[in-house]
Structure 1
Amino acid sequence: MAARQDRFAKRTRRRAEDVLHRLAVRVYGAWMAFAWRTIRWDRQGLAPWEEALRGGSPFVLASWHGRLSMVPYVFDWRRLPFTVLAFEHPAARLVSHGLPRLGIEVVEVPKRGSRRPAVTAAIAAVRAGRCLGLTPDGPAGPAFEAKAGVIDIAALTGAPVVPISFSARPRIVARSWDRFVLPLPFGRGTIRMGAAIPVPKGMDPATRETVRARIEAALDALDAECDAAMGQRPIPRRRRAPASDQELT
């Protein structure tokens, strides 16, 4: 009897967690979509990359983890091929589980075990002409530090890395590891894409480090450019802070 009650309690808890998760996904998605629609956006550098995708020229779309919230809305992904790498993490799933409604394909990277199948699927997506979205400092930092994954995928597919960022006023900047930027509705915003960063095959360690540093510098510069355009203070690099605090600007 006790074992049966324990199984029932576990099933009930899982169902409750599933309901709460689906509700959280819908609330987050509705908030972001509402913010996107009501903010007056200045868009720069987007048109050439939209045309590239329409012409079958894929690329790796990269943003820092803290600036990913508006990427799902930058184009109409129901008409353009887009795949994102998302990690098996509760916070990541809050975002990724709502992406298919926007026409975005999600490749989930497991928290444990081999990541090879996910990487293979991502490479296949790019080779099939799909844009691939990822965060070079995800899933859990260190913030603003590009990891090897973005370089490896770009080198294996021959696709360039294209930086993207945004800023808004007003906004909330979470004191999380990634300094997540949450734009508030009815304000002003700018969203920008930068120049392509080619990633050659067969790089030696010194060249890999040069390319990695170039990706970091491009993303940092685009963040700073967007913040300056909105009159916002730049977010400090390499800074960790308690996740419970927030600041409104």
Structure 2
Amino acid sequence: MSLRKKIADSETVLNWAARRIAWYIRLVRKHSSWQRIGYEELDALVDQGEPVIVVLWHQRLAQSPYFFPLDKARICSITSAARAGSMVGRVQKLFGMDTIAMSSRTRHVALSRAVLGKMKQGISIGIAADGPRGPERVSSTVPLVWARSSGKRVFGITYSSRHATEAGTWDRLLLPRPWRNEGVLICREWTETVPRKASEDQIEALRQNLEQHMNDITAEADRMVGREPWVPES
């Protein structure tokens, strides 16, 4: 094993990097002005001890520790077992979130069983609908499967920031400036119902509907802070 790989796989190095990323996220939060919009319904469910499914875009992960009221309830984030996904999980754990690492070898049945088990314990579930490798802003059907199996309500959550940079990653990860910034968090329920015996065509139509829902609230957040909304390539 090369020295570079040993360093990259070192628990000490990985934990140090996770702490630095968490420090940056907290710095952005502390020194920015934030609006929290549309959370009334989700907050009410959390107060009742009712778990929900939270959906986000991978691009908006940088403020995900503040998407859910962690002071009131638990949420489990689904991350990738690969190095980048593992780092996301390490960072989220520092904020008090649970995580389930999903590897390419994990069977969907096994993952769904673990997720449904969490929800039966009253723990909400969070997932990047286009993660962990994209394509960017193309939703998977996974949130639909979990909504159908659990009967739990689905909330799309996103954020945007007036001063931010897009990283050169597949998802164009949005990185807010940590000083004198303005941001907005938007939470909005996806109100479609997934039939127990939905056909492939119905599932595809619902997948596209969820995708549009996420794009709509993200564009709304961008416009609120003066950012140009994302437009899909034709």
Provide the TM-score with structure 1 as the length reference. Answer: 0.85
Displacement after TM superposition at 1:92 (Å): 1.4
Output the CA distance in 1 between the equivalents of 2:66 and 2:107. Answer: 31
* Paired amino acid for 1:132: I
Displacement after TM superposition at 1:79 (Å): 2.8
Output the CA distance in 2 between the equivalents of 1:29 and 1:113. Answer: 28
Of residues 97, 101, 126, the one that matches 1:108 is 101
Secondary structure of the residue that 2:175 maps to in structure 1?
strand
Is the 1:173–1:182 contact (alpha carbons within 8 Å) kept by the matching residues of 2?
A: yes
Change (3 A) 1:145 1:110: same
Structure 2: which 5+ residue stretches go unaligned? Answer: none
Secondary structure of the residue that 2:185 maps to in structure 1?
strand
Displacement after TM superposition at 1:35 (Å): 0.6
Output the CA distance in 2 between the equivalents of 1:15 and 1:87. Answer: 16
Displacement after TM superposition at 1:113 (Å): 4.6
- Taking only aligned residues, the RMSD between alpha carbons, in angstroms, comes to 2.1
Within the alignment, does 1:127 sit opposite 2:120 as a pair? yes
| Pairing of 1:57-76 with structure 2 (within 5 A) | 57-76=50-69
| Pairing of 1:24-43 with structure 2 (within 5 A) | 24-43=17-36
Provide the TM-score with structure 2 as the length reference. Answer: 0.90
Displacement after TM superposition at 1:237 (Å): 2.4
| Pairing of 1:194-233 with structure 2 (within 5 A) | 194-197=188-191, 198-233=193-228
Displacement after TM superposition at 1:161 (Å): 1.9
Is the 2:46–2:72 contact (alpha carbons within 8 Å) kept by the matching residues of 1?
A: no
| Pairing of 1:7-156 with structure 2 (within 5 A) | 13=6, 17-156=10-149
The structure having more radius of gyration, on CA atoms, is 1
1:18-37 CA-partner distances (Å, limit 9, x unpaired)? 22211111111110111112
Displacement after TM superposition at 1:212 (Å): 0.5
Equivalenced residue count is: 231
Identity %: 22
Secondary structure of the residue that 2:122 maps to in structure 1?
coil
Structure 1: which 5+ residue stretches go unaligned? Answer: 1-5, 240-249
Displacement after TM superposition at 1:14 (Å): 5.9
1:56-82 CA-partner distances (Å, limit 9, x unpaired)? 222210011101221212344143121
